[in-house]
Structure 1
Amino acid sequence: MAQRSRRGGTTHTPSRDRRRSQPRDGEGIIPVLAKAVRQVEAAAQRGKIRPSQRTAYQVVALLVREERARIKADATISEAERTNGLTRLDGIATILAKTAARDTSLLALLADGAVVSPMAASLRNDMLQAAGREVEAEPEEVIEAEPAESAAAASRRVVPQTVIQRQLANPFLAPDFSAARAPRPKTNRLVGWELLSPLFRSFEYGGESASMPLPEPSEIVHGIKDLELMHHQGQVVAAAAEGHRTFLLADEPGLGKTAQALLAADAAHAFPLLVVVPNVVKANWAHEAELWTPRRTATVVHGDGETIDGFADIVIVNYEILDRHVEWLGAHGFRGMVVDEAHFIKNKSSQRSRNVLSLSARIRERHHNALFMALTGTPLINDIEDFRAIWQFLGWIDDEKPRPELMAALEETGLVPSSPGFYAAARTAVINMGIVRRRKVDVAADIPARRVADLPVELDDAVGRSIRAAEAELAARLVERYRYTMSTRSESGVGGGELVSGIDLELVRRVAAAELKNTGTGSDKGDNVFTLMRKIGQAKAGLAADYAAQLSRNVGKVVFFAKHLDVMDVAEETFAKRGIGYSSIRGDQTPKVRKENIAAFLEDPAVEIIVCSLTAAGVGLNLQVASNVVLAELSWTSAEQTQAIDRVHRIGQTEPVTAWRIIAAQTIDSQLAQLIDDKAGLAARALDGSDEEVGSSADVQLEALVALLTDALKQADAGVATDSMSVD
């Protein structure tokens, strides 16, 4: 099929479906849709649906919907013709449902708000033309103006006094045009192709471990005393010294990404260097800078920045206050930018993401050879498209297409997205832009293995009964909505999705999604999934603390993680009553208190347990003095769980690491644990070349509700069947 750009090709005058007469069975849009959907169905049966077929699936579904509405509203046709048309459309809809049952990722293409790509719009027009219909002209692209900044946001902007002094001392920060500009593609065979979706999907198919070729490191790293780089760390530094300037450094947590970034900046002469980090690791970055780059001065931005050194080589700022400083940071003349825990910017609509992308664009405009590094041990949280903001920060893509350097690499493959081998070649091209992913087992074999062990606990008291009742009430509410919607469909004659064991799986997902959407709106009574999980955490708190106390008596120091402060409070009260020394890491602590509490756990034999917030202590801590972790509450993502465990399982660990997950038996807690484990295969397949299946891109919250409703419906149907047998 010929490809056309959004503005390219021939346009047609708008028309209201100028039909000469009613089409016969072999004419019109329905045969075109039937042929297309059969092709997609055949691909699904073979287990290999290509992106072009996914596009066809979406277009067919949209046109079926439009044609059904047109037939129902057309007063010029007879009732028999209307019934015949709707029946044929129902047949196509059935094939769509069966195909989605084979590949459930297709359902995302039908969701409200699903993006219709330029390729899909072009295919829709082709199908309409094949059916003998005139198509509407593609609308001119409208570029919306950025919303005006509010007066309140503008009033928060600050320029520290020392920054003003630096600007006055060096007012002529001329752009650096010494570096060669990005190469331009030598061919244009990819013009008109929608490329971003194929690039993202190329990482779903797996392949070799996602790491670019790296040079051998030099033996000496200048300026460091009594510190030795590991081989894998030296390779990144050597690559920067040889001129590579963009890195997605996705080493597993615990492999020393901070040191690699600082020394890469030194090798690339990328000073002054901007480092954007979570608040809890600002002090750690300053400490690491002092260790690894002692010839460089580092300053940390707090609040409005009154205490910073405007002449420092390394400026460290946290995401939360970036909006106050974004203006002067963009004009400061940075030659490099590092974003730590880069998965924090995956939501492009968030303020933190917009600030980071704005700063990277301004630095890139001024210095074409600037260094950009995105650091994250968990680059994928829910979906392959979590890559999008990170790639844009690195300058590999923009909002709509690859930027020139990546486009040149894709053109050199000689392939287009419909060509065999394109996905493997595209994945390699992106990896060579600067993805570096090493696993502990490959580069630090001396780190012992780790395991996650589940400890089911019974909640037999009044609180446990209350939780099970609340869960049953939530399930009943979902079942009631499901039944009501089913009855409404039956009365209106509207068909549903494919039934599995008598359950409409598509409707189940819609009901679960509606429950999440209504959460917090006050429209529903009773507990939602979030309040239910919090109650479970509260009920498990004492049991989890008891187990941690027993561990500390038998195996030594223990790290205790929880999500909520009240769970941490219960744990600390338990340890105090038992005379067990403990310290804690919470989000509301000052850097000084945080540092003292960490030191107490690491150095004081009397401090046996450290009680940590999953949010405040999940990154930036080295707690390898312990080898046992207790997870009192479950996270909503496997990435957060992994980050917590990797505070212990990292370089310097000498013992096998065990993470003990406390699971409330006979509750939704068990289902959530399984969902977290299922999602853990996503990063492994995308970056490590694993054969594990990629988990669903839907949020774990949604999947938990889907599982809860599905089980409730099965139990209800089983109860009905039992009653029927009793009557007989």
Structure 2
Amino acid sequence: MPVLARAVREVENNVRGGRAQSWVRTQFQVIAILVREERARMKVDPDLSEAQRAEQLKRLDGVATILAKTATRDTSLLMLLAEDAEVSDAARALKREMVAKAGLEAAEEPEVEDDVDDHGHHERQVVPQSVISRQLANPFLAPDFSHVVPRREGPHRLATWELLGPLFRSFEKATDGKASCMTLPEPTSMVAGGRVLMNHQAQLVESAAAGHRTFLLADEPGLGKTAQALLAAQAADAFPLLVVVPNVVKTNWAREVELWLPTRRSTVIHGDGADVDGFADVVIVNYDILDRHVGWLGVHGFRGMVVDEAHFIKNKSSQRSQHVLQIADRIRARSHQPLMMALTGTPLINDIEDFRAIWQFLGWIDDKRPTHTLMDALEDTGLTPAEPSFYSSARRAVIDLGIVRRRKVDVAADIPARRVADLPVELDGELGRSIREAERELARRMVARYDKALETRISGKVVEGIDRELVHRVATWEREDSDTASEENVFTMMRRIGQAKAGLAADYAAQLVRNVGKVVFFAKHVDVMDEAEKLFANRGIGYSVIRGDQTAKARQENIDAFTNDPDVSIIVCSLMAAGVGINLQVSSNVVLAELSWTDAEQTQAIDRVHRIGQEEPVTAWRVIASQTLDTKIAELIDDKAGLAARALDGSDAEIGSSTDLQLAALEALLLDALEARG
């Protein structure tokens, strides 16, 4: 603990002055990893008394709180807290050093080779022995250009136009009231792998069989995207097939291969890939170990690539996005028309430009321009971005490249309806009062900054009423540059609200169990999950748990217990660890104990229950603390839900602000305070 305490204060001090440098980011991530590991160790340490365990966990919570406050000064640090965040060699080395300083023995890590990629960058590379064996068995694996389509010659009318911006905007400006979906053929068969498909699934498989090779499969969660991708690969004979997935769903993908493609062999890459089967038909790898395998994956002879939860690559500057794009380019360089599929039920999280990396993975655009297929389609419109009618034609051209978006209400009428029901709760007592006072203090602090900025303004600009541009600037300053480490901020405040709601949300879940049967309980923070589990145990309610620090085996055992054991009534789920890739249709009631920072994360959680196989109407009970920032966050989440609705589903709903919710919440808090004083 002393080692962690000193390190976290050092990180805090270094971030206070501005954005974190590379070495500070590494230290931040290592501290977060060690806190998680130490928490898990302490919980099962038989040598600790209950008092000692409680004291140590309290100290770890203190370290975690400082990390959270630090991340609000440089919000790019938040991605390092994700379960599948990539861990560099420098981070591993620092972790070993800190463990050694604490007087503990560091676990040994296997040695890896140091290789150089096509761009001359050194990367942590491995080539599993089984892969080497396959390469030796196929020493003359040649590129396949048998389906090359000649490029159009002649002058290009749009050559001098900037087109990517207009293409993205076309999904905001030009909606026709219909979902964004390419024309799909009617299926000739509704059976695959001995199983009967739904019509919308068979349509996509038929399209692949007819020769279509790029798909942004953006069906709403719960409509069987995994099965469609595997069967499309079968129809296109796209084997060997590479599947890139979040870590938490690797095992599920292997199960799905066994279910839908019983004649095909799958292999899952763990760590350095010592157990990988280089001769398998389907190779499954998670994002955060791509850095070790990007070299051989690009030249393995894959004829297809699937990226699951493709919104994970929306940040093009992240290493995982760069690795995915690099492998995709290598596959296209060796096979002219490989099957490329991006799967996500929530392709738009914050902004229309979330499409950028996905379109580039699919080969529709490069860094600066549309590639030749899309460019030819735009040329055929005879229009330019200067003409209003360009946008609807451009949107159609992109959709026809392979956007497939179906809604449950349209294609799966047998899936019962779902609703999100807000459950307001009052935070009583000292804790509730302290949270509301902290919000008032935060508002007062921003008002003071706003007034000071007005007084010292030298531009001479005069704005009638509230200067909303200045409100935005003040909110940005507040988020990025808190005055002292002891001050509350929007991030830590939401965590405090979650802690305050934990017992109330768990109590409501316990009541639901008595009335409706099995319940799925989602929370964002570990301490909220701990509080809920304690309440369920005290009331004798059987429960299982899905957390980020579980092994794949333990995770599946907990899912199976909830699904099959009548005595297990509740499953307590981490939003980060259980929001994707699992099926919990045995329940039709979801309790959202804490709010997400995006509508997409909330939707993904609900759709663990609301999916094919569900027989009951689904209700998601969203617990909201009244008269707190919680209410504003809920409104902002609902506002941003309009983004995907308009861009992909043809809705006329207005798109809310694309700024992140933390900033938007601060702006709302400041506006309320300014309006209240008149």
Report TM bin, short chain: 0.7 to 0.9
Tell me: CA distance 1:187–1:409, structure 2 relative to 1, closer, same or farther (3 Å).
farther
Of residues 432, 442, 451 in structure 2, which corresponds to 1:474?
Answer: 442
Of residues 175, 186, 201 in structure 2, which corresponds to 1:216?
Answer: 186
Following superposition, the deviation at residue 259 of structure 1 comes to 0.4
Distance 1:229 1:280 in 2: 26
> Which residue identity does 1:529 align to in structure 2?
V
Following superposition, the deviation at residue 419 of structure 1 comes to 2.0
> Which residue identity does 1:327 align to in structure 2?
G
Aligned match of 1:191: 159
Of residues 101, 106, 128 in structure 2, which corresponds to 1:160?
Answer: 128
Of residues 502, 519, 540 in structure 1, which corresponds to 2:501?
Answer: 540
Aligned match of 1:708: 669
Secondary structure of 1:650's aligned partner = coil
Secondary structure of 1:202's aligned partner = helix
Q: Tell me the matched-pair count.
A: 560
Following superposition, the deviation at residue 654 of structure 1 comes to 1.1
Aligned match of 2:532: 571
| 1:674 has 2:635 as partner | yes
| 1:337 has 2:305 as partner | yes
Aligned match of 2:613: 652
Distance 2:560 2:118 in 1: 47
Residue correspondence of structure 1 range 385-396 to structure 2 within 5 A: 385-396=353-364
Q: Deviations over 1:129-179 (max 9, x none)?
A: xxxxxxxxxxxxxxxx999746xxx3x311111111111111111111101
> Which residue identity does 1:495 align to in structure 2?
K
Of residues 325, 348, 355 in structure 1, which corresponds to 2:293?
Answer: 325
Secondary structure of 2:423's aligned partner = strand
Q: Deviations over 1:201-226 (max 9, x none)?
A: 0000222320000011121545x12x
Residue correspondence of structure 1 range 98-497 to structure 2 within 5 A: 149=121, 154=123, 156-181=124-149, 183-184=151-152, 187-205=155-173, 206-207=175-176, 208-219=178-189, 221=191, 224-225=193-194, 227-489=195-457, 492-495=458-461
| 1:604 has 2:570 as partner | no
CA contact (8 A) 1:251 1:436 kept: yes
Aligned match of 1:554: 515
Following superposition, the deviation at residue 524 of structure 1 comes to 5.1
Secondary structure of 2:601's aligned partner = helix
Residue correspondence of structure 1 range 38-77 to structure 2 within 5 A: none
Of residues 455, 465, 469 in structure 2, which corresponds to 1:506?
Answer: 469
Distance 1:515 1:302 in 2: 42
Q: Deviations over 1:332-388 (max 9, x none)?
A: 111100000000000000011001010101101110110100000000001100000
> Which residue identity does 1:210 align to in structure 2?
S
Following superposition, the deviation at residue 525 of structure 1 comes to 3.9
Percent sequence identity is: 71
Aligned match of 1:32: none
Residue correspondence of structure 1 range 68-87 to structure 2 within 5 A: none
CA contact (8 A) 1:185 1:408 kept: no
Secondary structure of 1:302's aligned partner = coil
Q: Deviations over 1:8-35 (max 9, x none)?
A: xxxxxxxxxxxxxxxxxxxxxxxxxxxx
Distance 2:236 2:157 in 1: 35
Tell me: CA distance 1:419–1:302, structure 2 relative to 1, closer, same or farther (3 Å).
same
> Which residue identity does 1:515 align to in structure 2?
E
**Stretch moving more, 543-552 or 691-700:** 691-700
Secondary structure of 2:159's aligned partner = coil
Distance 1:453 1:148 in 2: 54
Secondary structure of 1:599's aligned partner = helix
Secondary structure of 1:503's aligned partner = coil
| 1:683 has 2:651 as partner | no
Following superposition, the deviation at residue 611 of structure 1 comes to 0.3
Tell me: CA distance 1:664–1:147, structure 2 relative to 1, closer, same or farther (3 Å).
farther
Following superposition, the deviation at residue 476 of structure 1 comes to 1.6
Of residues 588, 608, 611 in structure 1, which corresponds to 2:549?
Answer: 588
Aligned match of 1:614: 575
Secondary structure of 1:317's aligned partner = strand
Aligned match of 1:47: none
Secondary structure of 2:256's aligned partner = helix
Distance 2:391 2:656 in 1: 19
Tell me: CA distance 1:390–1:608, structure 2 relative to 1, closer, same or farther (3 Å).
same
> Which residue identity does 1:393 align to in structure 2?
F
Secondary structure of 2:201's aligned partner = helix
> Which residue identity does 1:217 align to in structure 2?
P
Structure 1 unaligned blocks of 5 or more = 1-144, 719-728
Distance 1:176 1:187 in 2: 29
Structure-1-length-normalised TM-score: 0.75
Q: Deviations over 1:630-672 (max 9, x none)?
A: 0000000000000000011111111111111110111000000
Distance 1:461 1:410 in 2: 62
Distance 2:535 2:319 in 1: 40
Q: Deviations over 1:525-580 (max 9, x none)?
A: 41111000000000000000000000001110000000001000000000000000
CA contact (8 A) 2:542 2:570 kept: yes
Aligned match of 1:137: none
Following superposition, the deviation at residue 684 of structure 1 comes to 0.8
Following superposition, the deviation at residue 428 of structure 1 comes to 0.3
Distance 1:567 1:495 in 2: 47
Following superposition, the deviation at residue 189 of structure 1 comes to 1.2
Structure-2-length-normalised TM-score: 0.81
CA contact (8 A) 1:558 1:626 kept: yes
Secondary structure of 2:244's aligned partner = strand
